[in-house]
Amino acid sequence: MSGQHNKHERRQIRRYRIRKRVEGNSSRPRLSVFRSSNHIYAQLVDDERGVTLVAASSREKGLDLSGIEAKGKIAASVAVGRLLAQRAKQAGLAQVAFDRGGYLYHGRVKALADGARAGGLDF
């Protein structure tokens, strides 16, 4: 490696550094976040079994944006967090380990985490 990395490589390096410390299991799954330019995706993963337990994304039809003060992508992120928390409760999950996926804990990633907390998930 030349020591110079592009934006994608730098995020991958941060992502691997986070994944060394954050691991999900059946009682406390990992809340994994992926943020594209237009959408945001989140899933609860049991790393011991290699299984996705619950997932939600901003691409789903009928995403409920009511009661959210923010607009646009931030509002969609809050709604995805709430939807994920609702599905996790139905699956009997209350505690998660948050994996920000190499993104800064800011903006849409923070909005998703706040929405999940508002929905009842405990980080």
The DSSP line for 15-34 is HHHHHHH----SSS-EEEEE
Task: Summarize pLDDT for 8-27 with one digit per residue, the tens.
Answer: 999 999 999 999 999 888 88
Residue 97 domain-assigned (yes or no): yes
Indicate whether this model's pTM tops 0.85.
yes
Residue 2 domain-assigned (yes or no): no
Residue 18 domain-assigned (yes or no): yes
Number of Cβ within 10 Å of residue 120's Cβ equals 13
Give 103's pLDDT tier (boundaries 50, 70, 90): very high
Q: Is 117 left (phi over 0), alpha (psi -120 to 50) or beta?
A: alpha
Residue 110 domain-assigned (yes or no): yes
Residue 1 domain-assigned (yes or no): no
**Per-residue model confidence (pLDDT) at position 2:** 67
Does 61 have pLDDT greater than 70? Answer: yes
- At position 106, the amino acid (one-letter code) is H
* 2-6, 43-47, 107-111: least confident range: 2-6
Domain of residue 100: give its range: 7-118
Residue 123 domain-assigned (yes or no): no
Number of domains comprising the chain: 1
| Strands of the 30-35 sheet, one edge to the other | 51-57, 40-46, 30-35, 97-99
**Per-residue model confidence (pLDDT) at position 62:** 84
Residue 80 domain-assigned (yes or no): yes
Residue 78 sits in a domain whose CATH number is 3.30.420.100
Distance CA 1, CA 17 (A): 17
- Which one has a higher pLDDT value, 69 or 111? 111
Residue 65 domain-assigned (yes or no): yes
Task: Summarize pLDDT for 32-59 with one digit per residue, the tens.
Answer: 999 999 999 999 999 999 999 999 999 9
Instruction: Tell me the pLDDT of the chain averaged across its residues.
Output: 93
